[in-house]
Amino acid sequence: MYPIILSTLLLTANASVIPDKVKLQNQNVVKMAAESLSKELPKKVDKFTSLIKIDPKGEKIIYTFEINSTKSDDTLIKQDKTKMKKRIVSGICSSSKRFLDSDISIKYIYKSAKSKKEILSLDVNKTLCDYPPE
């Protein structure tokens, strides 16, 4: 009986340490990925968009983009972004599946190249990929 109690106690103790180890491992993965990917920046994504910065923040990778548009910042900010958000979520969910499956989340920030005002910010995690916005 005592070996069963002892092994149960050891399993319980190890179970509380494992999430901490996974969290620390994820933080290290995020930091290394951000450092590695940042070496290629700035990077032109399309006619109007450039990826300018990738930052680690805990278990989240933050991508910052600049939009160089002929539209005013106010127009870009007020514009309905529903379709854009769906495309971004879909793209992140397929291209970053391994991160998301490991409970690493991803944030995209879009700013105006002219004023540096934030136009859109979007957090994506595994749950959002499992239940995408309609």
CATH for 2-130? 3.30.300.250
pLDDT of residue 93: 93
Contacts of 99 (CB under 8 A, 6+ apart): 29, 33, 61, 105, 106
Token output for 91 = 């793209």
Give the CA-trace dihedral at 87, 93, 96, 99, to 10 degrees. Answer: 140
pLDDT in tens, the chain (134 residues): 344 444 444 444 444 555 788 888 989 999 999 999 999 999 999 999 999 999 999 999 999 999 998 888 888 888 888 888 899 999 999 999 999 999 999 999 999 999 999 999 999 999 999 877 66
Bond prior to 42 in cis (omega within 30° of 0): yes
For the chain, the domains span 2-130
